[in-house]
């Protein structure tokens, strides 16, 4: 990382080219590129007669996120496209076939999933299933000879993460976790401000993320692995990691009161925790399934910088003690999937690999242990 003459504009320019600095220990950087930009092959006078190949993505699990975010984003990507689906619901298969002009050969159910190995049009499998199913389908996707994107949290246990990473390595395929905010300019700016020490040394982070409309499998511990911590609290863990650029060394957590003990019979309703980082830096975090929260704040020696809302699919806003952040809103999922496709084609690492997801699951497990025991847990 350069200092002094290295400006905010330089940082965003490098990010737009997929160049530059590490994101939490990675050697490559998430690409920030407007989805409407032209490729070199499409420019007048280009000698390339054929546009570059797009990689095919199959979505596994057609819930709200796949239908509301990923499939629409795949209509805006430059380097990948929706090539297939896997669903256990015949009506969804019919609806998606019509909506996205899919062929019968590109539609699978959970009984025929492994046959996807014989489909050359599908290069990447994106696992968008309940958390407890991530490990099984990532392993099966790798064994089918496909690269894999897995939604967060990567899995329920570190042991599952290890199996997923090992399966992809054995198959010679790449594994990425769906951390879309690593491709979002406001969140990138939070890291840059700390790295450039524009407000002096970082001292403290505050991260809150909560919602009040959780339902279905998210309230079932066997399927979700926990409550809001696994679903939205993980953004606080991620935010603290990339804002500090450090890994936590210990956590202390406390479960909040259950205002609705029936609804939250098997999972926590809310949770507060503190993460300790090297150098005396701390992060105070909150998550909830009964209160809306959406903030990431960094406090430093000579000022502060924050995002609120910080973690949404759109509408992210930021400001500092010097004034507002001015960045465009982007399609995070399109940038995320495009970058993974480019990483595969270019033979470079993804900036959001399985190892990053594993570290988050390790931290989440430590938070739950502290919550259950009432003790400080070292990581």
Q: What is the pLDDT along the chain (379 residues), one digit of tens a residue?
A: 333 333 443 433 344 333 333 333 332 333 333 233 333 233 333 333 445 789 999 999 999 999 999 999 999 999 999 999 999 999 999 999 999 999 999 999 999 999 999 999 999 999 999 999 999 999 999 999 999 999 999 999 999 999 999 999 999 999 999 999 999 999 999 999 999 999 999 999 999 999 999 999 999 999 999 999 999 999 999 999 999 999 999 999 999 999 999 999 999 999 999 999 999 999 999 999 999 999 999 999 999 999 999 999 999 999 999 999 999 999 999 999 999 999 999 999 999 999 999 999 999 999 999 999 999 999 9
CB 137 within 8 A of CB 108: no
Can you give the pTM of this predicted structure?
Answer: 0.88
Token output for 291:
């209160």
**For 313-345, b where at least 16 C-beta lie within 10 A, e where not — what string?**
beebebebeeeebebeebbbbbbbbbbbbbbbe
β-strand 318-320 against 323-324: which pairing, if any? antiparallel
Measured CA to CA, the distance from residue 109 to residue 71 in angstroms comes to 18
β-strand 323-324 against 202-210: which pairing, if any? unpaired
Measured CA to CA, the distance from residue 186 to residue 324 in angstroms comes to 11
Sheet holding 124-127, edge to edge: 107-108, 80-86, 55-60, 124-127, 147-150, 175-177
Sheet holding 250-255, edge to edge: 323-324, 318-320, 303-307, 293-300, 202-210, 282-288, 270-276, 250-255, 377-378
Residues labelled as active-site residues: 152, 235
CB 148 within 8 A of CB 170: no
């Amino acid at each position: 990382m350069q200092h002094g003459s290295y400006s905010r504009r330089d940082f965003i320019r490098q990010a737009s080219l997929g160049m530059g600095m590490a994101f939490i220990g990675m050697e490559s950087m998430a690409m920030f590129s407007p989805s409407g930009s032209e490729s070199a092959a499409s420019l007048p006078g280009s000698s390339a007669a054929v546009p570059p190949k797009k990689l095919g993505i199959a979505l596994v699990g057609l819930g709200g996120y796949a239908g509301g975010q990923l499939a629409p984003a795949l209509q805006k990507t430059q380097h990948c496209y929706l090539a297939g689906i896997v669903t256990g619901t015949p009506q969804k298969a019919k609806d998606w076939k019509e909506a996205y002009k899919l062929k019968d050969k590109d539609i699978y159910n959970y009984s025929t999933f492994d046959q996807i190995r014989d489909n050359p049009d599908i290069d990447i499998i994106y696992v968008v299933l309940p958390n407890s199913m991530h490990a099984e389908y990532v392993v099966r996707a790798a064994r089918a000879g496909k690269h894999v994107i897995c939604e967060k949290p990567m899995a329920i246990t570190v042991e599952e993460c290890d199996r997923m990473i090992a399966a992809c390595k054995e198959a010679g395929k790449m594994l990425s976790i769906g951390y879309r905010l690593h491709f979002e300019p406001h969140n990138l700016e939070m890291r840059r401000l700390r790295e450039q020490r524009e407000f002096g040394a970082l001292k403290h982070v505050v991260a809150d993320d909560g919602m009040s409309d959780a339902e279905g499998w998210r309230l079932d511990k066997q399927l979700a692995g926990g409550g809001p911590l696994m679903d939205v609290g993980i953004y606080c863990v991620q935010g603290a990691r990339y804002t500090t650029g450090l890994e936590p060394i210990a956590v202390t957590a406390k479960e909040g009161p259950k205002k609705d003990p029936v609804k939250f019979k098997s999972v926590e309703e809310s949770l507060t925790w503190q993460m300790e980082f090297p150098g005396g830096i701390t992060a105070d975090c909150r998550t909830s399934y009964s209160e809306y929260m959406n903030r990431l704040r960094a406090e430093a020696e000579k000022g502060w910088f924050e995002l609120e809302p910080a973690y949404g699919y759109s509408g992210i806003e930021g400001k500092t003690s010097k004034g507002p952040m001015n960045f465009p809103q982007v399609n995070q999922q399109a940038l995320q999937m495009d970058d993974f496709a480019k990483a595969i084609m270019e033979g470079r690492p993804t900036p959001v690999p399985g190892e990053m997801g594993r570290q988050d699951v390790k931290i989440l497990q430590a938070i739950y242990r502290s919550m259950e025991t009432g003790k400080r847990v070292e990581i």
